Amino acid sequence: MAKAPVLTPQADDFPRWYQDVLAKAELADNGPVRGTMVIRPYGYGLWERMVAEVDARIKDAGAENAYFPLFIPESYLTREAQHVEGFSPELAVVTHAGGKELDEPVVVRPTSETVIGEFMAKWVNSHRDLPLLLNQWANVVRWELRTRIFLRTSEFLWQEGHTAHATEADASAYAVQILSDVYRDFMVNVLAMPVLIGRKTRQERFAGATNTLACEAMMGDGKALQMGTSHELGQNFAKVFDIKYQSAEGVEETCWTTSWGVSTRMMGGLIMCHGDDKGLVVPPRLASNQVVVLVIKDEDGVGAAASALVDEIRSAGIRVKLDDRTDTSFGRRATAWELKGVPVRVEVGPRDLVNGEVTVVRRDTGEKRQVGIAGLAAHLPELLSHLQADMLAAATLRRDEHTVTVATIDEAREAAQTGFARIPWATLGEEGEALLARDAITVRCIQTADGDVPATEDEPGAIAVVARAY
C-alpha cells in the first residue's frame, strides 16, 4: 500500500498544498488577530537571509538605513490626494493611548512616504544634500479583506526605500537601478527566480506614483506574483511636503522622489516558485542551512564521524547543520528536511562509513550518490553551485513553457488560464486591460520586446505580459 502523501499534491489543490507547506515545514502560523502572521524560526531564518542579501545590495546602491515612526498623524496621509484614496480603506487607526482618547487619531503606517517626506524636507537644503538615499526595514499594516500568509497579510515585514533627487532623470534612473541591480539581481541570482521586469499600467500603479516598475515571477500553478516594486513619485510628494533645494545657481527647486520595496511576500514567491510535492526547495545561495548531515544510526562511531564532517564542511564556508537526533526515526527526519527544502542532505550510516563513503542527496532532483568522505567538503561547493544554476534553469524553462505570445485578446485570455500571455500593448490597450480584468486577468507589466523596461508606456513595440495573479 502506498504511503499517504505528507502534503496535498500540487496538482490536486495548489492553495491547500501551499497551506500544508507553511505548516509542515514550520514556516509560519496565523496570528490571533485577523490576517496577522507568526513567522516561525525556520521561516524567519530564510527571511533573515533575504534581508542580508537585499540589504547588502541596497547599501551598494548608496542608500543608508534609518528608522521612522510606526505611528503617523492621520492628517499626513490626506495631503497627497491619490495616496489617501489608495490607502484609506486599509488603515488601522489608534484612537486611544495611555488610557485616554487621542486628540488626533494616528494611523499605523501602511507605508512611509508621508512621514519620510516630512523629514526629507527638513534635511534637504542645498543641491549638495542630493541625492538623499534612505531605506528602512520595518513592519507595516494594511487591513486586508482576504489574507493568506506571506502573500497578503494585515501586518507584513518589508524594506521601503525613499529617495530625493535634483532632477526627474536622476530619480527615474535610480528607480530603474534599484529594480534591476538590487531586486532583479537578488531574485535571479539568490532566489533562482527568473523574474520579468517592466512598467505597470496606469491602472496598476502605486497610489501617488507617476510610474511604477515591478518584478514579476511565475508560480508553480502558472499564476503571477508581484515580487517587488520601484516607484517614481514625480514631484507629487515633494510638492505637498515641501521637499525643496537650492540649486548651484541659487534657485529654489522642487525635488523628485522615488520609493521602492520588497516584503515577506517574497517568502510566498519562494515557496510557490520552487516547491514540489515533497515540500519547499530552497536555493543554496539563500538557504540558512545549505547542507544537513544526518546520522542514520549512532553506531560504530557514526556520530563522531558525522560531527567531524560537519566541522570540515563548515570550514569550507558552507552553512551546515548536524542532525543527530537518533531518538527520532531516520525516515521521519529525512522527510522533515525534505519538507524544509534543505538543498543537500548528507546521510551517514554504519555501512557507508565502513566503505569510507556517505550518501549525498540533492533536494531539487532527488538524485542520490555515494561520495567518498575524503573529498566531500571539497566537492560540496561545486555541487551547491550546480544546484543553484539548475534551479534557475528549471524555473526559467517552466516559465517559458507556460508563456505564449499571442495576437488577440481572446488568445490572451485563453493562455492566461495556464500561464503568461505576451501581447502587444498597442493591441491590448487600456480597453483590453479592462476586458481581461473581468476574468481576473491583469497586466503584470509592460516590457520592451527584449524584456527590458520601456522608457515610456507608449514605446513602440512594447509588450504587455498578462496573467492571473496572487
Binding-site ranges for a copy of itself (CB under 8 A): 29, 31-33, 36-41, 44-45, 47-48, 64-73, 76, 88-99, 105-106, 108, 115, 118-119, 122, 128, 134, 138-139, 141, 143-145, 154-155, 157, 327
SS3 283: coil
**What is the smallest separation between the CB atom of 91 and a copy of itself, expressed in angstroms?**
7
Q: Kindly tell me which of 9 and 69 has the beta carbon lying closer to a copy of itself.
A: 69
Q: What are the beta bridge partners of residue 224? A: 218, 469
Q: Kindly tell me which of 104 and 450 has the beta carbon lying closer to a copy of itself.
A: 104
Q: Kindly tell me which of 71 and 330 has the beta carbon lying closer to a copy of itself.
A: 71
**What is the smallest separation between the CB atom of 118 and a copy of itself, expressed in angstroms?**
6
| 422/412 Cα distance (integer angstroms) | 7
**What is the smallest separation between the CB atom of 264 and a copy of itself, expressed in angstroms?**
9
Q: Kindly tell me which of 31 and 424 has the beta carbon lying closer to a copy of itself.
A: 31
| 40/51 Cα distance (integer angstroms) | 16
Q: Kindly tell me which of 270 and 373 has the beta carbon lying closer to a copy of itself.
A: 270
Cell readout for 450 is 527584449
Q: Kindly tell me which of 55 and 390 has the beta carbon lying closer to a copy of itself.
A: 55
Q: Which of 386, 413, 415, 387 is nearest to 401 (CA)?
A: 415
**What is the smallest separation between the CB atom of 37 and a copy of itself, expressed in angstroms?**
7
Q: Kindly tell me which of 145 and 169 has the beta carbon lying closer to a copy of itself.
A: 145
**What is the smallest separation between the CB atom of 447 and a copy of itself, expressed in angstroms?**
34
**What is the smallest separation between the CB atom of 323 and a copy of itself, expressed in angstroms?**
14
Those residues whose C-beta lies under 8 Å from the C-beta of residue 325, and which sit 6 or more positions away, are: 333
- What size, in residues, is the chain? 470
**What is the smallest separation between the CB atom of 94 and a copy of itself, expressed in angstroms?**
5
Residue tagged 516630512 (cell numbers): 118
Check: CB of residue 166 under 8 Å from CB of residue 247.
Answer: yes
Those residues whose C-beta lies under 8 Å from the C-beta of residue 268, and which sit 6 or more positions away, are: 18, 148, 149, 150, 151, 225, 470
**What is the smallest separation between the CB atom of 35 and a copy of itself, expressed in angstroms?**
9
Those residues whose C-beta lies under 8 Å from the C-beta of residue 303, and which sit 6 or more positions away, are: 295, 324, 326
**What is the smallest separation between the CB atom of 433 and a copy of itself, expressed in angstroms?**
27
Q: Kindly tell me which of 206 and 241 has the beta carbon lying closer to a copy of itself.
A: 241
Residue 16 backbone dihedrals phi, psi, to 5 degrees: -70, -40
Check: CB of residue 419 under 8 Å from CB of residue 404.
Answer: yes
Burial pattern 138-154, b for ≥16 Cβ within 10 A else e, equals: bebbbbbeebbbbbbbb
Those residues whose C-beta lies under 8 Å from the C-beta of residue 349, and which sit 6 or more positions away, are: 296, 297, 302, 359
Residue tagged 512621514 (cell numbers): 115
Q: Kindly tell me which of 218 and 243 has the beta carbon lying closer to a copy of itself.
A: 243
